[in-house]
Structure 1
Amino acid sequence: MSQTQTWEKKEGNVGTLTITVPAEEFDSALDQAFNKVKKDIQVPGFRKGKIPRQMFDKRFGVEALYQDALDIILPTAYGKAVEETGIKPVDQPQVDVKEIEQGKDLVLTAEVTVEPEVELGEYKGLEGKEIDAEVTEEDVNEQIEALLAQYTELVVKDGEVAEGDVANIDFKGFVDGEAFEGGEAEGHDLEIGSGTFIPGFEEQLVGLKAGDEKDVKVTFPEEYQAEELQGKEATFEVKVNEVKEKETPEFNDDFVKEELEGFDDAETAEDVKAKVTEDLKAYKEQEKDFELRESLVVQASENAKMEIPEAMVESEQQRMLQEYEQRLAQQGLNLELFEQISGQTKEDLLEQMKDDAFKRVRTGLTLQAISDAENIEASEEDIDNELQKLAEQFQMAKEDIKNVLGDLTVIENDIRNQKAIEFLVDNRKQ
C-alpha cells in the first residue's frame, strides 16, 4: 500500500490536505526514531545505547517515539502530497495528527494556504503608454553641463557670498539661550542654495564676506528628526572664514583634447556632442520600451481578479529587504549601520515596502496566469541561453551555474514571465 492524499479547498485560499501514510512506513519511521534516541539511553544491565527495542517500549512506551517518527516522516510525506495534488503552498502548513498508533496507518491533516486562483480580465488589445523618445537640444545641453560639472573646481574669491558659492563657516546654535547637541561645527563647507541646512539659514549668508560674523535666526521644521528641536526657534552665531566660487571649464575643443576623459575617440566638442546625443537616444529608447511594457503589465494586473494571501506579500517583503541589504553592502553599509544613520528600523523598511510587495505579487500572478492561458513555456534552448548569460555575468562555467542553482524553476518562471510580457506587447492596441 502506498501513501494517499486528498485536497479539499475551503473558503479563500486555504484548504485541508489529508495525508494517509501506510502502517509499514510509519513503523519504519518508528524504528529510525528508536535508533536515533537509544544512543543516549542507559539502563541497568545494559551498556549505554544497547537497550533492546522491546525493553524500551515496555519501559518508556512506544508513544515516546511518536514525535521523532513524525519529524522523520512528515517532510517526505508532505512533499509527496503537495506534488501529487498539484497544489502550490505559499506558507508553512498547520499540521494536525488525526490518527497515530503503531501498526496502523498514520493519518495527518494540514491546513495549507495556496496560491490564489487568478481570473484574468482584458489582457489583449490593451493601450500601452507610449512616451516620447525624441532627444532635444535641451537634453543634450543638460548632459554636457552635467559632464562639465565633474571638472568644476572651487576657487577662493574676495567678494560677497552669492547663490551657488561655497562658504566655509564656523557656527554654534542656541535654543532658548542654550547651546544644543549637534548644533556646532568649525570649518564647515556649505553650498549656498543646496538646501542642506535648516530652511532660511543659507539665504541669510548671501552678501557676507570672509571675516564677517552674523546671528542667523531660523525655525526648525515641525517634522525635524530631533524631536526636542521640532518647531523651535534657534539662533546660530556664524562666522564666514572663506568664500569659494565654482569655476567651470568652457566646453570647447581644447577642453576635449586636454581634460575630458572617457571619450577616447572624440577630438572636438562636436564629436562629444554627437556621442552624448547617440547615448541619449539609446537611453530614451530603452526608457520608452520599459514604460510600454510596464504600463501593459499594470493594466493586465489591474484587470485581473484575485485574493492575495498575506503570506505571499510578507515573503515578497522579505525578498525586497534582502535586495535592499545587498545594495547597502555595495555601498559599504549594512542594515544595522543604516538604522543608526537613518533612525529607521527594519520593521519601518518592511512597512514602506508593503505596497510595492503587493504589486509585485499581483503582477507575478497575473503574468503566470497569462502564460498558462496562452500555453507559454520556457524551452530548453531558452533556459540554456539564460544560463549562458548568467555564466558570462558571473564569469563562471555554465555547468557550475547550473549546479549552484540546482532547481531551475525560478529561471523557467522568469522566462515565462518575460515571454508573457512580450505577448502583451505583440497583442496591444496598435
Structure 2
Amino acid sequence: MKISVRNLEPTKVRLTITVDNDEFEPYLDEARKEIGKQVNVPGFRKGHVPGKIIDQRIGFSTVAGEAVNSGVPDLYSKALAEKELHAMAQPQIDIKDIPESSKGDTKLKFTAEVEVRPQFDLPDIEGMEIEVAKPEVTDEDVNKRLDNLRQRFGTLVSIDRPAQTGDFASIDLEAVIDGESVDSQQGVSYELGSQTMLDGLDEALDGLSSGEETTFEGTLEAGEHAGEKAQIKVKVNSVKAEELPDLDDDFAQEASEFDTLEELKSDVRKQCERDAEGRQATDARDAFIAKLQEGIDIPVPKGVKSSMVEDQLKNANKGSEAATDDEKSEIEKNVEKELRDQMVLDALAEKMQVEVSQIDVTNFLASIAQQYGMDPSAFINAIVQNGQLGSAVQEVGRSKGMLAGMRAVTFKDTDGNVLDLSNFLGQDEAEAVEESESVQAASAAAAVADEIAHSDSSKQSQEED
C-alpha cells in the first residue's frame, strides 16, 4: 500500500492511498463470500459458491464495490497508523480508481481528507514540581454551610410588608403583544432575586405588596413568541418570607446526630476541609495540564471546533444567529481549551503507554450509569448502539494517562510542603479508573448519558403524539 500525505492546514491532511491488488484481494474474497451467502447459483449450495463463479454470475464490478465499502475504512485506519496520524474527526473519502477485473492493472486508489491532532512535544515530567495553592477553611465557609442546613429546616410565613430579595411571592403573569394576550400563568411561586424567570421580573416585584400589580417590558424566552418583546403584567397574590430556626443545641439535635451546636460545627468544619482538599486536587489537575502546555503552540482543528461550538449553542437552546457575540466568544474560548486539554492528555496517555482494558471501560460506564439512575447494562448497550464506545475508551485512556502522569509529579503547596494526593489519584491503575470519574472523564460520559436520555425523551414524545 502506497500512502502519500499532503498537509492542507496545520491540523488537516489529505491522504492519497493506492492499494496493491494482492493487498486488496482478501477484501474481494470476503465480498465474494458475503454475496455467495445471499444468491442462488444452480449446482452450488448457498455460501459455497466459488469466487470465480461469483465474478461471472454477479459481475466483478459488484464484488469490487462491496469490497471497497468494507475495505476502505480498514485500509484508511491502517494508513493512519502507518503514518502515525491521529484523526480528530470523520474523514471525507473520495474513491478515485477501482479495479475493473481480477487480472487488470488498475489499483484501488482513494483519498481521505481529515482533521488530525497536530504534532507537538510534551515536556519531560520526570522531576517536575508544581505549586498548588494551599486550601483554607474560614469561619465564613462553616457559617455558609450551617445556613444552608438551616434553610432545609426553614418555613415560609406570610408577611404584611412589601416584597424584597429573598422573599417568595405567589404571582399571576400575563404577556401582551400589540394589545393581545399571548400567554398567561397563575399562582406561580417565585423567589425574588433568583433571576430564574423573565428579565426585569425581580425589579418589577421589588417593593410590591400582596394584591398590588404592575407592568414591565420583557423578552419572552419560550413558546411561539420566544425572543419577542412583550408587556408583562404581574400581580402579587401573597408574599412569604423564609423563617430559619435558631442556631442552637436544639437545632443541632433536630438536624443531625449531634447533641450540641459545637459538635455540629466541628463536623461541618471537617466537611469543609474535605471539600477544600478536593478543590486542591482539582487545582492540581488543572495546574498539571497547564504545565504540560506551557510554551507549546497547539493549533485547534477548525472543523471540530466549529462543530463543538454549534453543539454547545444548541444545548444552550440558542442557534448561532440568536447567540450574542460575547456568548459565542465565551463558548469558542471554552471549546478551544477543551480541545487542547484533550489533545495533550491523548499525547500523554501515549507517552505513558497507557492501556485501557474492557473492565476499565465497563466499570467506568457502570459508575456513570449509577450516577444517572440508569441500568448499567442498558446504558452500556446504548453507548455501543450510539457509536460512543470509542469515545468512552478514549476518555478512560485520557484519565488513566493523566493520573499516571500526576503520580509521577511532585505537588507542593505555597509553603513548600509536599502534597499527598493519593486519596484522589489512587495507588494503581484500577483505582485510577475509579478516580477518573471525579477528575476528568465523567463529564464526557455524563454528556453521553444526557444525550441518550434526551433522545429517549424525544422518542417517547413522538410516540405519544
TM range (shorter): 0.5 to 0.7
Corresponding residue for residue 344 of structure 2: 366
Number of aligned residue pairs: give it. 382
The 8 Å contact of residues 93 and 112 in structure 1, kept in 2 or not, is answered as yes
Corresponding residue for residue 181 of structure 2: 180
Corresponding residue for residue 103 of structure 2: 103
Kindly report which structure 2 residues correspond to 1:242-261, keeping only aligned pairs within 5 A, or say none: 242-257=238-253, 259-260=254-255
TM-score, with normalisation over the residues of structure 1?
0.68
Please state how far the C-alpha of 1:95 moved relative to its aligned partner.
Answer: 4.1
Match of 1:303 among 295, 300, 316: 295
Per the alignment, do residues 392 and 89 of structure 1 end up closer, same or farther by CA in structure 2, a change over 3 Å counting?
Answer: closer
What amino acid sits opposite 2:155 in the alignment? E
State the alpha-carbon separation in 1 of the partners of residues 399 and 73 from structure 2: 27
Per the alignment, do residues 287 and 179 of structure 1 end up closer, same or farther by CA in structure 2, a change over 3 Å counting?
Answer: same
Per the alignment, do residues 229 and 27 of structure 1 end up closer, same or farther by CA in structure 2, a change over 3 Å counting?
Answer: closer
The 8 Å contact of residues 349 and 400 in structure 2, kept in 1 or not, is answered as no
State the alpha-carbon separation in 1 of the partners of residues 251 and 354 from structure 2: 52
The 8 Å contact of residues 218 and 232 in structure 2, kept in 1 or not, is answered as no
Corresponding residue for residue 160 of structure 1: 161
State the alpha-carbon separation in 2 of the partners of residues 186 and 145 from structure 1: 31
**Match of 2:263, SS?**
helix
State the alpha-carbon separation in 2 of the partners of residues 301 and 418 from structure 1: 16
State the alpha-carbon separation in 1 of the partners of residues 228 and 176 from structure 2: 11
**Match of 2:338, SS?**
helix
Please state how far the C-alpha of 1:273 moved relative to its aligned partner.
Answer: 0.6
Please state how far the C-alpha of 1:111 moved relative to its aligned partner.
Answer: 2.9
Please state how far the C-alpha of 1:77 moved relative to its aligned partner.
Answer: 3.4
State the alpha-carbon separation in 1 of the partners of residues 193 and 308 from structure 2: 40
Please state how far the C-alpha of 1:255 moved relative to its aligned partner.
Answer: 1.8
State the alpha-carbon separation in 1 of the partners of residues 121 and 333 from structure 2: 21
Please state how far the C-alpha of 1:108 moved relative to its aligned partner.
Answer: 2.3
1:114-154 CA-partner distances (Å, limit 9, x unpaired): 32111457989999674452211111111111110111111
Corresponding residue for residue 453 of structure 2: none
Match of 2:69 among 44, 47, 71: 71
Kindly report which structure 2 residues correspond to 1:228-307, keeping only aligned pairs within 5 A, or say none: 229-230=228-229, 234=231, 236=233, 238=235, 240-257=236-253, 259-260=254-255, 263-264=256-257, 266-301=258-293, 303-307=295-299
The answer as to 2:68 corresponding to 1:92 is no
Please state how far the C-alpha of 1:241 moved relative to its aligned partner.
Answer: 3.9
1:19-63 CA-partner distances (Å, limit 9, x unpaired): 43334x5456445545555777789x9999899987876787533
State the alpha-carbon separation in 1 of the partners of residues 342 and 232 from structure 2: 54
What amino acid sits opposite 1:376 in the alignment? M
State the alpha-carbon separation in 2 of the partners of residues 219 and 93 from structure 1: 50
State the alpha-carbon separation in 1 of the partners of residues 66 and 262 from structure 2: 77
TM-score, with normalisation over the residues of structure 2?
0.63
Per the alignment, do residues 62 and 135 of structure 1 end up closer, same or farther by CA in structure 2, a change over 3 Å counting?
Answer: closer
The answer as to 2:118 corresponding to 1:140 is no
The 8 Å contact of residues 158 and 239 in structure 2, kept in 1 or not, is answered as yes
State the alpha-carbon separation in 2 of the partners of residues 427 and 125 from structure 1: 13
Range with greater deviation from structure 2 (97-106 or 120-129): 120-129
State the alpha-carbon separation in 1 of the partners of residues 27 and 353 from structure 2: 40
Kindly report which structure 2 residues correspond to 1:190-205, keeping only aligned pairs within 5 A, or say none: 190-195=190-195, 196=197, 198-199=200-201, 200-205=203-208
Per the alignment, do residues 16 and 253 of structure 1 end up closer, same or farther by CA in structure 2, a change over 3 Å counting?
Answer: same
Corresponding residue for residue 376 of structure 1: 352
State the alpha-carbon separation in 1 of the partners of residues 395 and 215 from structure 2: 58
Match of 1:416 among 380, 401, 405: 401
State the alpha-carbon separation in 1 of the partners of residues 360 and 40 from structure 2: 57
1:168-208 CA-partner distances (Å, limit 9, x unpaired): 344556566x35222x4433334344444534311241xx3
State the alpha-carbon separation in 2 of the partners of residues 188 and 56 from structure 1: 72
**Match of 2:120, SS?**
coil
**Match of 1:303, SS?**
coil
State the alpha-carbon separation in 2 of the partners of residues 428 and 109 from structure 1: 55
Look at both structures and tell me which one has the larger radius of gyration over its CA atoms. 1
The 8 Å contact of residues 156 and 240 in structure 2, kept in 1 or not, is answered as yes
Per the alignment, do residues 166 and 77 of structure 1 end up closer, same or farther by CA in structure 2, a change over 3 Å counting?
Answer: closer
1:256-283 CA-partner distances (Å, limit 9, x unpaired): 22x21xx33x221111111111111111
**Match of 2:206, SS?**
helix
The 8 Å contact of residues 126 and 296 in structure 1, kept in 2 or not, is answered as no
1:308-342 CA-partner distances (Å, limit 9, x unpaired): 33355468679x87xx9xxxxxxxxxx9xxx8xx7
Corresponding residue for residue 332 of structure 1: none
The 8 Å contact of residues 161 and 167 in structure 1, kept in 2 or not, is answered as no
Per the alignment, do residues 299 and 244 of structure 1 end up closer, same or farther by CA in structure 2, a change over 3 Å counting?
Answer: same
State the alpha-carbon separation in 2 of the partners of residues 10 and 235 from structure 1: 57
Corresponding residue for residue 440 of structure 2: none
More relative contact order in 1 or in 2 (CA 8 Å, sep 6+)?
1
The answer as to 2:19 corresponding to 1:20 is yes
Per the alignment, do residues 52 and 294 of structure 1 end up closer, same or farther by CA in structure 2, a change over 3 Å counting?
Answer: closer
Q: Which stretches in structure 2 are left out of the alignment for 5+ residues?
A: 417-465
What amino acid sits opposite 1:94 in the alignment? I
Per the alignment, do residues 347 and 73 of structure 1 end up closer, same or farther by CA in structure 2, a change over 3 Å counting?
Answer: farther
State the alpha-carbon separation in 2 of the partners of residues 79 and 37 from structure 1: 25
The 8 Å contact of residues 252 and 261 in structure 2, kept in 1 or not, is answered as yes
Corresponding residue for residue 330 of structure 1: none
State the alpha-carbon separation in 1 of the partners of residues 72 and 285 from structure 2: 43
Work out the percentage of aligned pairs sharing the same amino acid: 20
What amino acid sits opposite 2:7 in the alignment? K
Q: Which stretches in structure 1 are left out of the alignment for 5+ residues?
A: 325-334
1:331-357 CA-partner distances (Å, limit 9, x unpaired): xxxx9xxx8xx7546998997855433
What amino acid sits opposite 1:414 in the alignment? S
State the alpha-carbon separation in 2 of the partners of residues 35 and 422 from structure 1: 51
